[in-house]
């Protein structure tokens, strides 16, 4: 899928994701918040880039996803979309609707989803929650805006849960999650993120839906997988839950490079004559 010539490739669409589920091809999704990272992701063949509200944590340094605003999400999304367009334009770009941009009423949710779609050339929005957001999801999808759902550990509700532990381990919550998943599909959601739930439950949800499920800490039976880019690149050293596989140790790589740079400048070994005009 790598394409260094800047050649455009067929864009991943909601229909494309459904077809991937049908032919049992796994969907790959990673988060990105900036132009440079989005370029690398698109060039590397990722199917979906999520401009996650995890930007609130890993980009802005907040403790939770709650503080990020709709304007900040739009700022990140514009940069990501430009990154994808600078490469193959293949990756689908989905933006998280931030906390309190869709919970007040379905009318407000529609207005904000419309604002996000008008301000960006992105492919859809993601919203957390089940039954309580179903009316909003229906209104938004009815006007043609694709919605990705998000169930299980929904970080915007962290103060209600009181912890980041695995969700839906009890029968009652598991049944409720399965019901919510079906309601979201009926309301028109095109895919569903399942975060930190037992693998057996995620497998059951995946079998019960015709739309793809994308898991994070939800086992290998989901139709796709998503990780936060900072976690999988080893940029977030304090955070190591078992569901994160580290594909690189960028914290050490960047640290070592900066230490060498500081050393070179202090010793007046940088810049050299060849690096000067
Ligand atoms: O904001 C985010 O990064 C997410 C992923 C964890 C799915 O919602």
> For 144-184, what is each residue's pLDDT tens digit?
999 999 999 999 999 999 999 999 999 999 999 999 999 99
Q: 29, 34, 48, 50: which to mutate for ligand 1, most atoms within 8 A of CB?
A: 50
* Pocket-testing residue among 27, 37, 46, 53, ligand 1, by greatest number of atoms within 8 A of Cβ: 53
8 domain residue, yes or no: no
For residues 220 and 170, give the distance between their C-alpha atoms in angstroms, rounded to a whole number: 20
Domain count of the fold of the chain? 2
Structure tokens at 108: 């407000």
Distance 142 CA to ligand 1 centre (A): 24
| In a shared domain, residues 46 and 123 | yes
3-state helix/strand/coil string of 63-92? CCCCCCCHHHHHHHHHHHHHHHHHCCCCCE
Check: CB of residue 81 under 8 Å from CB of residue 122: yes
Question: Per-residue DSSP letters for 115-159?
Answer: HHHHHS--SEEEEE-SGGGHHHHHHHHHTT--EEEEEES-GGGHH
The pLDDT value recorded for residue 6 is 60
C-alpha separations of 247 from 5, 224, 235, 244 in Å:
26, 18, 11, 9
Please tell me whether residues 32 and 43 are part of one structural domain.
yes
Q: State whether 203 and 269 are in the same domain.
A: no
Ligand 1, pocket-test mutation among 28, 48, 54, most atoms within 8 A of CB:
54
- Kindly give the distance from the C-alpha atom of residue 48 to the centroid of ligand 1, in angstroms, as a whole number: 12
Q: Report the C-alpha gap between 222 and 206 in whole angstroms.
A: 6
Catalytic residue among 128, 195, 269, 275: 195
DSSP class of 51: E
Note the pLDDT tens digit of each residue in 43-74: 999 999 999 999 999 999 999 999 999 999 99
Q: Whose CA is nearest to atom 4 of ligand 1?
A: 52
Q: What is the pLDDT of residue 78?
A: 97
Residue with token string 């989901």? 222
Mean pLDDT across 30-46: 98
Percent of the chain with pLDDT over 70: 98
**In-domain check, residue 7:** no
pLDDT band for position 4 (cuts 50, 70, 90) = low
The answer on pLDDT for 1 being more than 50 is no
Give me the domain span that covers residue 255.
249-277
Q: Is residue 9 part of a domain?
A: no
**Residues 211, 260: one domain?**
no
Exposure class string for 180-218: b at 16+ Cβ within 10 A, else e = bbebbbebbbbbbbbbbbbeebbbbbbeebebbbbbbbb
Please give the distance, rounded to the nearest whole angstrom, from the Cα atom of residue 263 to the centre of ligand 1: 38
Dist. CA 208 → ligand 1 center (Å): 23
The residue whose C-alpha atom lies closest to atom 1 belonging to ligand 1 is 52
Catalytic site includes residue 195: yes
- Do 55 and 43 sit in the same domain of this protein? yes
Q: Which of 192, 189, 188 is nearest to 204 (CA)?
A: 192
- Residue 3 C-alpha to ligand 1 middle, in angstroms? 27
- Strand ranges (E), the chain: 27-31, 48-51, 92-96, 124-128, 147-152, 191-195, 213-216, 224-227
Contact by Cβ (8 Å): 153, 195: yes
52 with 177, same domain?
yes
Token pair recorded at residue 40? 């690398």
65 CA closest ligand 1 atom index: 1
- 220 falls within a domain: yes
Which residues have C-beta atoms less than 6 Å from ligand 1?
Answer: 31, 50, 52-54, 96, 193, 216, 226, 228
Model pTM?
0.96
Chain mean pLDDT for the chain = 96
Measure the CA angle with vertex 53, ends 71 and 180; round to 5°. Answer: 120
């Amino acid at each position: 899928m790598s394409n260094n010539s800047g050649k455009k490739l067929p864009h991943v669409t909601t229909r494309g994701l459904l077809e991937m589920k049908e032919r049992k091809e796994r969907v790959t999704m990673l988060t990105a918040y900036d132009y440079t990272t989005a370029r690398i992701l698109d060039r590397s063949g990722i199917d979906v880039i999520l401009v996650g509200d995890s930007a609130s944590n890993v980009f802005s340094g907040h403790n939770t996803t709650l503080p990020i605003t709709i304007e900040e999400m739009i700022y990140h999304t514009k940069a990501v979309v430009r990154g994808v367009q600078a490469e193959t334009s293949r990756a689908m770009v989905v933006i998280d609707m931030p906390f309190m941009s869709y919970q007040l009423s379905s009318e407000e949710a529609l207005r904000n989803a419309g604002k996000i779609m008008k301000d960006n050339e992105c492919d859809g929005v993601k919203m957390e929650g089940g039954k309580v957001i179903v009316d909003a999801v229906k209104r938004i999808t009815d006007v043609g805006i694709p919605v990705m759902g998000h169930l299980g550990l929904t970080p915007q509700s962290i103060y209600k849960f009181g912890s980041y532990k695995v969700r839906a381990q009890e029968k009652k919550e598991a049944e409720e999650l399965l019901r919510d998943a079906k309601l979201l599909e009926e309301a028109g959601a095109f895919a569903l993120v399942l975060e930190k739930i037992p693998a057996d439950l995620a497998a059951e949800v995946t079998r019960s839906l015709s739309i793809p499920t994308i898991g994070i800490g939800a086992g290998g039976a989901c139709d796709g997988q998503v990780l936060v880019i900072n976690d999988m690149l080893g940029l977030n050293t304090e955070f190591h839950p078992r569901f994160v596989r580290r594909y690189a140790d960028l914290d050490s790589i960047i640290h070592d490079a900066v230490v060498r740079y500081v050393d070179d400048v202090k010793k007046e070994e940088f810049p050299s004559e060849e690096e000067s005009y």
